[in-house]
Chains A and B, each alone.
Chain A
Amino acid sequence: MKKLKKVVSLLVVTSMAVASLAACGTKASSGGDKFFIGGIGPVTGGAAIYGQSVKNAAELAVQEINDAGGINGVKIEFAFEDDEADGEKAVNAYNTLKDKGMKILMGTVTSGACASVIDKTKSDNMFQLTPSASSKDVLALGNVFQVCFSDPNQGIASADYIGSKGVASKVAVIYDSSDIYSSGIYEKFKAEAAGQNFEIVAAEAFTADSKTDFSVQLQKAKDAGAELVFLPIYYNEAALILTQAAALDYKPIFFGCDGLDGILTVENFDTTLAEGVMLLTPFAADATDEKTAAFVKAYKEKYSDTPNQFAADAYDAIYIIKAAIEKSGAKPSMSVSELGDALRGAMTQITVDGLTGAGMTWSETGEVNKAPRAVVIKDGSYVSAE
């Protein structure tokens, strides 16, 4: 009996030793001559559409870069793991990718899951760039960079856009004071508007308990002579506001953020009322600039699907990582932590022209700074406002 135990333990020890050697082997082979970028996002479950778009577009970008000779002659290896938009699964996915040899993380796609991974990347000092997690929470540890605007910064971007393009000189705001997304954007919008060449003539709130009657808010905006009504709210309430404004014969420009994306899908809503509505979204698939057209064409050819803003964010993310590697002169032989330091240092110095914005730069905190882009609804679809 004793003998058997010894044999078993010996077997266990040898097998473990072999396994650890084998792990070393794979790491060495993938880590030496390629930049290993890992991606995490939901490709199954309720948010699958987001993760699938990110995965597709990232793979497309990696293929393009590799076909063109890689980064400074070094190819990229890309692997993607599913997290079902769940925090725990995201951590598992992260560990799996690290075992495979990941040195740079492009993810995760959703804010909630992303916030659970930042602890891991912080302790490993791994470089992390999220394409689409917009919450402020993901920036809490100061080690993550974003491709998309953080929620409240959409307020700054909106004010900048309205001011710099001279869209209107008198602006009214209708926002949901019981919702952090909406009131957060409004606060930033108000602060930013102070330095712009327009005036906020009415700022009206509603709450989750009274979100059906907006006639008073609209009447006040109309009486104040607002030419533009800023709606940092979700599309369901916006659809009601548009309907009630039409009943009041009030036809200002309506301007919203990404929460308005989806207004054309509200059941029974008269979408002709949404004609001319402007919204700040980083990407419109039917924009006619060369870069977008080429991306949309390549994406459609490869996946026979029209890319959405998540795809554009991920495509940009890969090119941003490329720019940071080029700027820092990082080598694939560097360790995870060395790469993390090098790329983070480079991020605040680079400027990237991407699909989701021209002249993107990053602050120390990880927030992106880019020229906002707006789309306008025309004939029932989004068209670039420029």
Chain B
Amino acid sequence: MSFISYLIKGISLGSVYSIIALGYTMVYGIAKMLNFAHGDVIMVGGYVIFTVMSMIGLNPFVAVLLSIILCTLLGITIERVAYKPLRSASSLAVLITAIGVSYLLQNLALLIFGADTKSFTSIIAVPALKLADGRLTISGETLVTIPLCILIMVLLTVFVKRSKTGRSMQAVSEDKAAAVLMGINVNKTIAITFAIGSSLAAVASVLMFSAYPSLTSTSGSMPGIKAFVAAVFGGIGSIPGAMLGGILLGVIEILGRAYISSQLADAIVFLILIIVLLVKPTGILGKKIQEKV
């Protein structure tokens, strides 16, 4: 019974990783850059909800909505200010800028909200499900997280495959120069990608901080790194890959902590990443793209 309980916890944690990983994978797939500040957008989303609910005292739905809007705006602003001017620069320069943005956000949050940990109030009001005479408890957060994650993945896949904007994203992803020649506004497409990625970060922050209600200025960095690992694990650039990578990572982490060692859980996660990349460098669902000469 406890195995099932751990498995469900792993899928739940993995679903949060998946939603964050979707943000990484979309931006990488389309803009070909690693947005290391993505994890910190989650932290900002958490603080927005915390401030709106605890300090101003508004309704949770308003808080979530505000958080999604603000994170989306933040994502677009970051892209416009820090990444767009570097579009023709080397990928290393963009990577360093992204790390800079990440630290900037963390330190700003530290300055505004202080170093003490804020305790987040769960805004998911779904009661926990008790099965098998109370031996198996599935929390309300888990009951919301898993279906929501699947829903987001399906919507995103349909959006990218079917809609006009989605198709222009695919075009930019495949060949930026050719896309320009076809009359696609590359800058607008990339900005939309960032907007979607950041709004997903806001959704992830709701789920993550409801399940693990501890909010500090560095709350986003470790989940951010794990989600990045999940994106690479599943095959970066692939939407189902991010989903699969995230869930596998969550399950491995929880089962490793439960059955191998609570101390080694993180080491096991990263060891498996190394092994997977050695065997299949493009990740589980990653496509092997042949460079045409």
Contact = CB atoms under 8 A, between A and B. Distances in A.
Interface of A: 177, 204-207, 209-213, 215-217, 219-220, 223, 236-237, 239-240, 243, 247-249, 266-269
A207 B263 contact: yes
A207 B263 CA distance: 7
B212 A268 contact: no
Nearest to A205: B263
A247 to B, nearest CB: 5
A267 B119 contact: yes
Contacts of B2: 219-220, 223
Interface in B1-41: 2, 5-6, 9, 13
Nearest to B216: A236
Given A204-B262, A206-B262, A219-B6, A268 B121 contact: yes
A276 B266 CA distance: 33
B60 interface: no
B263 A236 contact: no
Interface of B: 2, 5-6, 9, 13, 50, 54, 116-121, 128, 134, 137, 139, 211-214, 219, 222, 254, 257-258, 261-263, 265-266
Contacts of A220: 2, 258, 262
A169 to B, nearest CB: 22
A249 B211 CA distance: 15
Given A210-B266, A216-B9, A248-B137, A240 B254 contact: no
4 closest A-B pairs by CB: A212-B212, A268-B119, A205-B263, A236-B117
A256 to B, nearest CB: 16
Given A205-B262, A207-B263, A216-B257, A239 B9 contact: no
Nearest to A213: B212
22 contacts: A204-B262, A205-B261, A207-B266, A209-B222, A212-B212, A213-B13, A213-B211, A216-B254, A216-B258, A216-B262, A219-B6, A220-B258, A220-B262, A223-B2, A236-B116, A239-B119, A247-B128, A266-B117, A267-B119, A268-B50, A268-B54, A268-B121
Contacts of B137: 247-249
A237 to B, nearest CB: 8
Given A210-B222, A248-B137, A240 B212 contact: yes
A209 B266 contact: yes
Contacts of A215: 9
Given A220-B262, A236-B116, A249-B134, 14 more contacts: A205-B261, A210-B266, A212-B212, A213-B13, A213-B212, A216-B6, A216-B9, A219-B2, A219-B258, A236-B117, A247-B139, A266-B119, A267-B116, A269-B119
A242 B168 CA distance: 49
B161 to A, nearest CB: 34
A207 B257 CA distance: 12
Main secondary structure of the interface of B (DSSP, over half): mixed
A364 B116 CA distance: 40
Contacts of B13: 213
B108 to A, nearest CB: 19
Most-contacted residue by chain B among A216, A240, A247 (CB, 10 A): A216
A220 B266 CA distance: 18
Contacts of B211: 213
Nearest to B1: A223
Contacts of A239: 117, 119, 214
Nearest to B54: A268
A204 B264 CA distance: 11
Most-contacted residue by chain B among A211, A220, A248, A268 (CB, 10 A): A268
Contacts of B6: 216, 219
Contacts of B54: 267-268
B232 to A, nearest CB: 18
Nearest to A206: B262
A70 B291 CA distance: 92
A42 to B, nearest CB: 19
A240 B214 contact: yes
A268 B120 CA distance: 7
Nearest to A243: B213
Nearest to A235: B117
Given A210-B222, A240-B212, A248-B137, A217 B118 contact: no
Contacts of A207: 263, 266
B105 to A, nearest CB: 19
Nearest to A178: B263
Nearest to B212: A212
A268 B123 CA distance: 13
A374 B239 CA distance: 54
Nearest to B120: A268
Contacts of A177: 263
Nearest to A183: B263
Contacts of B263: 177, 205, 207
A247 B214 CA distance: 15
B215 to A, nearest CB: 9
Contacts of B139: 247
A243 B2 CA distance: 20
